[in-house]
A and B are shown apart, each in its own frame.
Chain A
Amino acid sequence: MDKTRNALNEFGMMDEFAAGDSPIHRLNATAKLLCTVSYILVVMSFGKYSLSALSVMILWPVLLFQLSGIPMGACFYKLRMILPLVMAVGLFNPFFDRGIMLTLWGIGISGGVVSMLTLMLKGILCLMASFLLAATTPFDSICASLSKLHVPGTLVTLFLLTYRYIGVLGRELAIMSDAYHLRAPGQKGIHVSAWGSFLGQLLLRSMDRAQELYSSMLLRGYHKHFHYAPTRPFRWKDFFFLFSGISFFLLFRMVDVASILGSLFVSVR
């Protein structure tokens, strides 16, 4: 049960990271949200062979990790479930695109390999950016700024409740698997014969709980509208953050900094 317990702790960990304090935490949520979205858009817009140009984009998340004090290891640890999926996306490229693109130390590297690596890097960069947003901004503030940006209220509430529901589901899972393992000592995982009833129960229980939580919201006057805590006001530093972020992305998108550096290096030699 350590596994579910861990998964649970990890889920709570996001909230705890977000409750921390650092120059990045102190920024306005909307500024961070917009910056993250532009980062992701710019990363996605790189051509499929622009591996070297794209690689410079990693500087941004690295900088944010440094400034926010969030351990980068935690990001990769938390995302270990999703990473393989992201990696799998480009896995077939090498088989379709066999034309040799460049030669490194005498080994020919096909376009497929380059485009695969580019896709993977794109995936990783986007995940890092989203993780950073979630780890430095309370989920409520993200939702609050979404609704400030005129994303339909129903959609935002849906996000928020889904986020909460995952927590409920996780806790219910932990309770049930504890109960299971206390009566099945020494067993590894849950026996196949119990999967059906276990899953069914889990679903019923978490739905019941979600239902009850929802009525508890209704009983306290909830009416399709969340009153988010006041978010930090949009100040000059937020503007500066957003502006410098976007200029940085665009600069690195337009100018292939990596090859300029590379050619410098080559000419020196």
Chain B
Amino acid sequence: MIEFQNVSFSYEHPHKVIRDLSFSIKDGECVGLIGANGAGKSTVMKLLLGLVRGEGKILVDGLEMRKENLALIRRKLGFVLQNSDNQMFMPTVYEDMIFAPLNYMVGREEAEKRVDAVLGRLGLGHLKHRHNHKLSGGEKRMAAIATILAMEPEAILMDEPTSALDPYNRRIVINIIRELAETRIITSHDLDMILDTCTRVILLSDGRVAADGPASEILRDKELLEKNHMELPLSLSRRE
């Protein structure tokens, strides 16, 4: 369970990016976090991971975000960054994928099995020994997703997972997200993907919750979406 209680945060002092934000997410839920550019979606994720500290209370599985709980909380969360270049730091995809399992004391043999299983599942076997800095944007994104899946976290946060992906890989990622049983929080401007994967949507506007409810309702609300710089998902607007 993930809970935000009256959380506020500013990068530069008076200008608040997150304002008095409260919501809670149950285990196993798949939540889409949407909003205009600069609404604060990525910041919410950073707060949740303890990369930045704000006011208010953040709870993960009953653990309060504090320095002594940081390692425990981070163990539970896997984060796919908005920019995959900043996610991969080892020379090859394989080494990057095996990094987290080894840190979490999984034996090397077991870790290798995990890596191969995830690569097979994503259809990325051919990328295993490729050098990270020589991958295309989309390949990097897929590899970044693979590193996080290999970590087997309890909850997965994805910041724009389908940006840079071709329709085929986008579909693979969508299917993966749907299959996962873990808690998932996904930010995206790809509302069709959100509609395909998430049951619930939280709409952020200027650091506040502007709407929170079932995906099928919020993503159909043309007026609300347009007020927040978004449009109806293509699949819904066509049907009208």
List residues of chain A with CB under 8 Å of any chain B CB: 12, 15-16, 138-140, 164, 167, 171, 209, 212-213, 215-223, 227, 229-230
Known: A167-B133, A216-B86. A221 touches B103 (CB 8 A): yes
Kindly list the 10 A-B residue pairs having the minimum CB-CB distance in the complex, ordered from nearest.
Answer: A221-B103, A220-B100, A227-B102, A212-B86, A213-B89, A221-B104, A216-B87, A215-B51, A221-B100, A219-B79
Q: Knowing A209-B85, A213-B86 touch, does A219 contact B103 (C-beta < 8 A)?
A: no
Q: Which residue in A140, A167, A212 is a CB contact (below 8 Å) of B81?
A: A212
| 14 more CB-based (< 8 A) A-B contacts, given A171-B133, A219-B74, A221-B100 | A12-B131, A12-B134, A15-B91, A15-B131, A209-B85, A209-B86, A213-B87, A216-B81, A219-B49, A219-B51, A220-B99, A220-B103, A220-B151, A230-B108
Task: Assess A219 versus B86: contact at CB under 8 Å? Given A12-B131, A171-B133, A227-B103.
Answer: no
Q: Are B85 and A218 in contact (CB under 8 A)?
A: no
Chain B CB count within 10 A is highest, among A209, A215, A216, A220, for A220
The answer, among A215, A218, A220, for a CB contact under 8 Å with B147, is A220
The docked-state distance in angstroms from the alpha carbon of A167 to that of B132 is: 11
B57 interface contact, C-beta 8 A: no
Q: B176 on the interface (CB 8 Å rule)?
A: no
Q: Which residues of A have CB within 8 Å of B75?
A: 221
Distance in angstroms between the alpha carbons of A209 and B104 in the assembled complex:
24
C-alpha gap A12/B91 in the complex (Å): 9
Query: Which residue of B is nearest A230, CB measured?
Result: B108
In the complex, A218 Cα to B108 Cα: how many Å?
20
B144 to chain A, nearest CB (A): 9
**Is B182 interfacial (CB 8 A cutoff)?**
no
Q: Are B147 and A223 in contact (CB under 8 A)?
A: no
Shortest CB distance A33–B (Å): 19
Tell me whether B44 is interfacial, beta carbon within 8 Å. no
Which chain A residues border B87 with CB–CB below 8 Å? 213, 216
Q: Within 8 Å CB of B91, what residues of A?
A: 15, 138-140
Q: What's the nearest-Cβ distance from chain B to residue A122, in Å?
A: 32
Which residue of chain A has its CB nearest to the CB of B144? A216
Indicate if the CB atoms of A12 and B133 lie closer than 8 Å: yes
Q: How far is the CA of A229 from the CA of B90 in the complex (A)?
A: 12
**Interchain nearest-CB distance for B161 vs A (Å):** 15
23 contacts between A and B (CB under 8 A): A12-B131, A15-B91, A16-B131, A139-B91, A164-B89, A171-B133, A209-B85, A209-B86, A212-B86, A213-B86, A213-B87, A216-B87, A217-B99, A218-B74, A220-B147, A220-B151, A221-B71, A221-B100, A221-B103, A222-B99, A223-B71, A227-B102, A229-B95
- What residues of chain A lie closer than 8 Å to B86, measured between beta carbons? 209, 212-213, 216
**Choice from B51, B74, B133 contacting A221 with Cβ under 8 Å:** B74
What CA separation (Å) do A55 and B131 show in the bound complex? 39
Interface centre among B75, B91, B134 (most CB of A within 10 A): B91
Query: Is there a chain A Cβ closer than 8 Å to B77's Cβ?
Result: yes
Report the minimum CB–CB distance from A164 to chain B (whole Å).
Answer: 6
B113 CB, min distance to chain A CBs, angstroms: 16
Q: Distance in Å from the Cβ of A162 to the closest Cβ of chain B? A: 13
**Nearest Cβ in chain A — how far from B140, in angstroms?**
12
- Among B71, B99, B131, residue most surrounded by chain A Cβ atoms (within 10 Å): B99
| Contacting residues, chain A, for B102 (C-beta < 8 A) | 227
Separation of A215 and B232 alpha carbons in the complex (Å): 35
B28 to chain A, nearest CB (A): 22
How far apart sit A212 and B91, CA to CA, in the bound complex (Å)?
17
B58-91 CB mask vs A (1 if < 8 Å, else 0) is 0000000000000100110101010101110101
